Structure 1
Amino acid sequence: MSDVKVVTEGNIRKIILNRPEAMNSITPAMLSQLNDEIKSADEDNNIRVIILTGEGRAFCAGLDLKQAASGEGISGALSGGNGAIHYSTREICTVTLQRIDTPVIAVINGAAAGYGLDLALGCDMRLMSDKAVLMPGFAKMGVIPESGGTWYLPRLLGWAKACEISMLGDTLNAAQSEDYGLINKAVKAEDLDAVSMEWANKISANAPLAISEMKRLFRHGLTQDFESHSHHVLMSVLNLFKSNDFKEGVSSFIEKRAPEFKGN
C-alpha cells in the first residue's frame, strides 16, 4: 500500500498521507512521493484544486522520529559525519507548494505536528477539525520550524505572535488556531469532508486561469513594491481580458446563468 494515496473527483485532486499506523509521520521515500504527486496535480490541466489531508486520526505527526533516532531517517541522513554535501531545497514539498499555481486546501483532520504543521502552513487555505490540534513544539525538540514555519508565521501572524507560538511551543486547539488566524475555519469533525469539498467545488467552478493568476500574484506581491506589483497586475488582467473564460463570465452574467469555464 502506498504511503501517499491519490483520489481524483472531477476537477479536484485529493492527496492523502497514508501511514495511519504511524500518524502519517514522514519518511524520505514519502517526501519524494508527496512532492511528485503535488507537481503532477499542478501539471494536470484538468485539476483545479488540490486537497491535502491525512488518513486516520492524524494529519501528519512530523518527521518519523523512530527513523531519526536510529539514523535511518531524514535527520540521520543530513547529520552524518561523512563531509560536506550540497543541499538543495528545490524538490522540498513545502517549496513546491509555494511555487505551484494550483490552489491547495489543507484539510487538517487530526494532529499536525512539526513538519506536518509546516506542511499545512504551506497550503493556501486551511480547514481544521474541531478535534484536531496544531503542535508547534519545535523548540521542545531542539530544532526550528525547518520547512517554512519561520517564513510563514511572521507573515501570517506578525512578529510577536510568531515568536509566542514557536518559542512557547504550546499545543493549539482548533478554536485557538482560528482565533490566531492560523487556519481559515474550524469545522466539526463529522462535517470536515463535506465542507472541504464544498470549498473545493466553489473554487473549481470559478475561472481557473483567474484563480491561478491570483495565487501567482499573491506570491509575487510578497516580494514586490506596490508600483512594480501594480504593473504586474495590469499585464495579467490585460491577458485575462483576451481569454474565452472572461467572455464566458460576461455572457453568463448578462444571461443570468451559471458560467461554464474551460480554462482558456
Structure 2
Amino acid sequence: MNAITSTMLAELNDAFKAADDDANVRVVVLTGAGRGFCSGLDLKQAASGEGIGGADLASAGARHYSTREICTVTLQRMDTPVIGAINGVAAGYGLDLALGCDMRIMSESAVLMPGFAKMGVVPESGGTWYLPRLLGWAKACEVAMLGDNMDAQTAVEYGLANTACADVDFSDTVNQWAEKIAGNAPLAIAEIKRLFRHGLTQDFESHSHHVLMSVLNLFKSQDFNEGVQSFVERRPPEFKGR
C-alpha cells in the first residue's frame, strides 16, 4: 500500500517543489492511492538488499540521507498549506509524512502505526522532531517507544489528527477543507505558515518584530484591499495572490 521506495521519494520531492513554486496552487492534498495512505519503507525491497534500508544502503539509501533534498524536508519548508488526507494505514515513514502535513484528516478506518522501535529503527523522517512538539515529551515517548497502533479517534484525542470522519464522508470533508483554504487570501496563508515555522525557533520579541514586518507588507497587497472592500460591500472576496 504505497510503500516507500527511493524512486517514490524523489518523485514526491519534485512534486512538492513544483506545487510550492506554482502560484495557482493554493493548497496541496497529500493522500494515498487505493485503500492505504502509506505503509512505510518497502520492506520487501530492503529484504532483497535493495533500496532504502537494504544492503545497498551505501548507494541509493545513503545518497538519500546525505542530502537535504529529501521530500520530508521539502514538505516542512513549503509555504503552500498541505492537508494530510489519511485514508488508511499510515505506518513508519508514511506516518512521518503525515506528521509533516499542516493538518490531518483521517477516515474512521485509518490507523497510525508508529512501530519504529519494533523494527529496530527510529522515526527517521521527521517523527523525532514533530512528535515532541505536537504531543509534549511524555506522550511522544509513549507513542514512539510503545509503538502501539492508533485509531482515528485516538489520534484526534492526542492531537495528531484534526478530525476523523466516516469513510463515506471522507472525500467530501477533505474537499471542503481544501476549498475553504483555497478561498482565503493566499499571501496571508503563506505568511501565516512562514511565521508559525519561524516562531518555533524565535523568542517572542523577535517573532513579534517579524510579524509586524509581515503585516506591513500585506497592507500593501491587492488582496488586503480586496478583503476590506468585499467586507464593506458584503460580498465574497476574490483574492488574486497579489
Q: Residue 105 of structure 2: which of 127, 148, 153 is its match?
A: 127
CA RMSD of the aligned region, Å?
Answer: 1.5
Q: Which amino acid aligns with 2:40?
A: G
- Rate the CA distance shift 1:260–1:86 in 2: closer, same or farther, 3 A: closer
Q: Which amino acid aligns with 1:238?
A: L
Q: Tell me which residue corresponds to 1:54.
A: 32
* Moved beyond 6 Å, runs of 4+: none
Structure with greater strand share of residues: 1
Aligned pair 1:253/2:231, yes or no?
Answer: yes
- Rate the CA distance shift 1:77–1:92 in 2: closer, same or farther, 3 A: farther
Q: Tell me which residue corresponds to 2:15.
A: 37
1:153-193: CA deviations, max 9, x gaps?
A: 00000000000000000000001100000000011111111
Q: Which moved more, 1:71-80 or 1:45-54?
A: 71-80
SS at match of 1:56: coil
Q: Is the 8 A contact 2:226 2:237 kept in 1?
A: yes
Q: Is the 8 A contact 1:89 1:95 kept in 2?
A: no
SS at match of 1:105: strand
Q: Is the 8 A contact 1:68 1:75 kept in 2?
A: yes
Q: Tell me which residue corresponds to 2:89.
A: 111
Aligned pair 1:91/2:69, yes or no?
Answer: yes
Q: Report the Cα offset of residue 76 of structure 1.
A: 2.1
What is the rounded CA distance, in whole Å, between the counterparts of 2:176 and 2:111 in structure 1?
22
Q: Which amino acid aligns with 2:159?
A: G
Q: Which amino acid aligns with 2:16?
A: I
What is the rounded CA distance, in whole Å, between the counterparts of 1:49 and 1:242 in structure 2?
23
Q: Is the 8 A contact 2:75 2:101 kept in 1?
A: yes
Aligned pair 1:197/2:153, yes or no?
Answer: no
What is the rounded CA distance, in whole Å, between the counterparts of 1:101 and 1:194 in structure 2?
24
Q: Is the 8 A contact 1:97 1:123 kept in 2?
A: yes
- Rate the CA distance shift 1:86–1:37 in 2: closer, same or farther, 3 A: closer
Q: Which amino acid aligns with 1:61?
A: S
SS at match of 1:59: coil
Q: Report the Cα offset of residue 87 of structure 1.
A: 4.6
- Rate the CA distance shift 1:87–1:146 in 2: closer, same or farther, 3 A: closer
Q: Tell me which residue corresponds to 2:143.
A: 165
Q: What number of residue pairs does the alignment pair up?
A: 240
Q: TM-score, normalised by structure 1?
A: 0.88
Aligned pair 1:216/2:185, yes or no?
Answer: no
Aligned pair 1:101/2:101, yes or no?
Answer: no
Q: Tell me which residue corresponds to 1:185.
A: 163
What is the rounded CA distance, in whole Å, between the counterparts of 1:36 and 1:77 in structure 2?
26
What is the rounded CA distance, in whole Å, between the counterparts of 2:236 and 2:42 in structure 1?
47
SS at match of 2:97: helix
Aligned pair 1:239/2:211, yes or no?
Answer: no
What is the rounded CA distance, in whole Å, between the counterparts of 1:189 and 1:39 in structure 2?
30
Task: Name stretches of at least 5 consecutive residues in structure 2 with no aligned partner.
Answer: none
Structure with greater helix share of residues: 2
SS at match of 1:107: strand
- Rate the CA distance shift 1:157–1:203 in 2: closer, same or farther, 3 A: same
Q: TM-score, normalised by structure 2?
A: 0.96
Q: Is the 8 A contact 2:6 2:64 kept in 1?
A: no
SS at match of 1:76: coil
What is the rounded CA distance, in whole Å, between the counterparts of 2:158 and 2:64 in structure 1?
37
SS at match of 1:60: coil
Q: Percent identity?
A: 73
Q: Is the 8 A contact 2:40 2:92 kept in 1?
A: yes
What is the rounded CA distance, in whole Å, between the counterparts of 2:144 and 2:189 in structure 1?
32
Q: Tell me which residue corresponds to 2:208.
A: 230
Q: Is the 8 A contact 2:27 2:178 kept in 1?
A: yes
- Rate the CA distance shift 1:99–1:114 in 2: closer, same or farther, 3 A: same
